[in-house]
Structure 1
Amino acid sequence: MSTESSRGRIAVSHLTEFAQDLLLRAGLPQGKAQAVAAVLVDGDLMGHTTHGLQLLAGYLGEIEKRSMAVDGDPELLSSLPAAQLWDGRRLPGPWLVLRALDRAAAMARTQGTGTVVIRRSHHIASLASYHRRAAEQGLVLLLACSDPNTASVAPFGGLDPVFTPNPVSAGFPTGGTPVSVDISTSTTTNGMTNRLHQQGGRLPAPWLIDGHGQASDDPAVLFNEPKGTILPLGGLDSGHKGYGLSLLVEALTGGLAGHGRADPREGWGATVFLQVLDPQAFAGLAAFERQLGEVARQCRASKPATAGRPVRLPGERAYRQAASQAETGVALHEGILESLLPWARKLGVPVPAINAG
């Protein structure tokens, strides 16, 4: 099945305006709607199509059900010169994370580092969407999240789910193209397995384990009884590594937030750890970029294991794709626009023009 809409491309400005107008008509105030639309479109620009506008229909449904709060600000629960804890009050995740990034960056400028942990955020979309914003300021961003309201990943050696895919990520400058590392601590994500299940597709490898303990590449095992789970990163052979990373994310999110799997579930959401480091407080930005620029050069110069496939930096292809689609328009993955058409009709929002691919 095609991975892109066969109907062509949509200009970035038109797509962003469409998403923003849907959110505004659904009840989000202007600033929040702008932030959420920008982050979601960034996901599709970079090719993270399960965590871009594919999420928008779900967000609109959450607003309609009042499971996503629309008004007000996060509550500041604790504050030190380089650390804060917020109660996100189930406000839109992308808006909260952008605010937290601004706050952590301001702390890092004076303290060398700044950390904001958010409990009770709504879903925060693609973590990679935030990296460039930090790197362009000459800052290092560490970002991780978990969702204590659900579980689809079993601990290594187990069959009962405990974790979500618990992504951990980092973005930082190199003097050239920034690095953007965004990895789940599981072998795959809920978004990808759900999409493939709906399409009748298979995963590239046996990244799942069924309810009887057998590895599988069939997403249906997550839905059949007894239900299977997603394997930790590393799979059956070395999944203890992903398991350890999942526990680390739980410590940085639920542990530091004081809110997580020990508490009653509230619905689709996130607990967020966001930390910014300012290289100027250490050896300086020029020294940081000199070192990372050389590491990047050596990586790219490494002889390819497969002829014609040179080594890339994490995020390099995504940034290149984003730049290309910013000029040519976004080719949405098949089914994304279709999922938004009922909302467009319901909310009276014009659908953006689609240009030939």
Structure 2
Amino acid sequence: MAERYEATGLTAFATRLFEKAGLDSEKAALTAELLVEADLMGHTTHGLQLAPGYLKKLAAGEMTAEGEPEIVADMAAVATWDGRYLPGLWLTSRAVDEAVRRAKSFGVGAVTIRRSHHIGCLAAFLTRATDQGCMLMLASSDPSVASVAPFGGRQPLFTPNPVACGIPTGGDPILIDISASVTTNGLSGRLAGEGRRLPFQWWLDADGNPTDDSAVIERDPPGSILPMGGLDHGHKGYGLALMIETLTQALSGFGRADAPTTWGASVFVQAFDPAAFGGLEAFERQAGWLADACRSNPPRPGMEKVRVPGDAALARKRRALAEGVELYPGIIGALAAEAGRLGVTPPQAIGG
């Protein structure tokens, strides 16, 4: 039986690791909380698996430990920040809160961030807005990384470019978290590291031939991840990637044209306050009806039921909070190694 850990214990452990690595208590706590939130929701490539990499970047000075973002522009409902490669989860949580605050005043609020460090799992931020009755749009790209080729091409240009949307319904929110590519860098790297292949040709080798070998993106010359829609309809993911790169990089004024080399993120956050439109009650009535209509739709053969985005993640979270968090194999070992380096005691498994 897989080992499970109390969520509060994992969060406290990760917080202590980041504090020992040089983050102040607020930055450390928010970074830890949002990484554990991703694991609670089942996004195991974007949870605590990222912590050792973050800690190494802090030690190398490639993640800024101290200070605040610089204000690039600020006008009524919108703002742009230079994140100075501060911790991305902390920066983005601050940006979500700020976008919601502005939406409560102007109906909509938006914040773009350039030169953030990596921001983890987008879904982990959504309830910060939906819990306040706001709809949230969130997108991210990394202008220093290229792993997805434009449709019809074979040279990597984009990152997977995730985009997320949180929608309040009066009940459980709709939590959409997708990417403009067929799969992610995180899963590709995990499969390559484990020597596993999936029965899907989700990648192209360097010559542009489809393959089920994710390791092609790490070779020289590198292959690429296919855009969402794959070989047949990849123009859809390609279009979405262009939109996300524009929202995150062009609006913030910093991106691939600047040839950055530091692992990081360009971020776009937009909040909508339904009270400024048709009213929150009407919004939740419409969104709730739509979610219920999806769930009650007759399932096709082989499917147990129709789920709404976020249903499975919230169910996993409730179970993990009650029974403990089951971490993906290898994560606790990597964290224990960092704990030994930093002099922090790892948590004990439940019943251990």
**TM-score range relative to shorter protein:** over 0.9
Counterpart in the other structure of 1:3? none
Q: Which amino acid counterpart does residue 245 of structure 1 have in structure 2?
A: L
The CA deviation string for residues 308-352 of structure 1, in whole angstroms up to 9 with x for no partner, is: 510000011001100110111100000111111111111111110
Query: Cα RMSD over matched residues?
Result: 1.2
Q: TM-score, normalised by structure 1?
A: 0.97
Counterpart in the other structure of 1:246? 241
Counterpart in the other structure of 2:157? 162
Q: How far has the Cα of 1:203 moved from its partner?
A: 2.8
Matching of residue 183 in structure 1 with residue 183 in structure 2: no
CA contact (8 A) 1:208 1:215 kept: yes
Matching of residue 337 in structure 1 with residue 332 in structure 2: yes
The CA deviation string for residues 239-285 of structure 1, in whole angstroms up to 9 with x for no partner, is: 00000000000110111011000003131100000000000000111
Matching of residue 23 in structure 1 with residue 29 in structure 2: no
Q: Which amino acid counterpart does residue 123 of structure 1 have in structure 2?
A: H
Number of paired residues?
352
The CA deviation string for residues 131-175 of structure 1, in whole angstroms up to 9 with x for no partner, is: 112111110000001000110000000011110001111001111
SS in 2 for 1:262: helix
Counterpart in the other structure of 1:97? 92
CA contact (8 A) 1:212 1:226 kept: no
CA contact (8 A) 1:7 1:356 kept: no
SS in 1 for 2:28: helix
Unmatched runs of 5 consecutive residues or more in structure 2 = none
CA contact (8 A) 1:141 1:170 kept: yes
Report 1:90-239 matches (<5 A): 90-239=85-234
The CA deviation string for residues 54-98 of structure 1, in whole angstroms up to 9 with x for no partner, is: 000000000000100011100011111100000001000010011
The whole-number CA distance in structure 1 between the counterparts of 2:149 and 2:56 is: 29
Q: Which amino acid counterpart does residue 21 of structure 2 have in structure 1?
A: A
Q: How far has the Cα of 1:114 moved from its partner?
A: 0.3
CA contact (8 A) 1:45 1:322 kept: yes
Counterpart in the other structure of 2:259? 264
Counterpart in the other structure of 1:350? 345
The whole-number CA distance in structure 1 between the counterparts of 2:337 and 2:96 is: 34
Counterpart in the other structure of 1:288? 283
SS in 1 for 2:258: coil
Give identity over the alignment, percent. 50
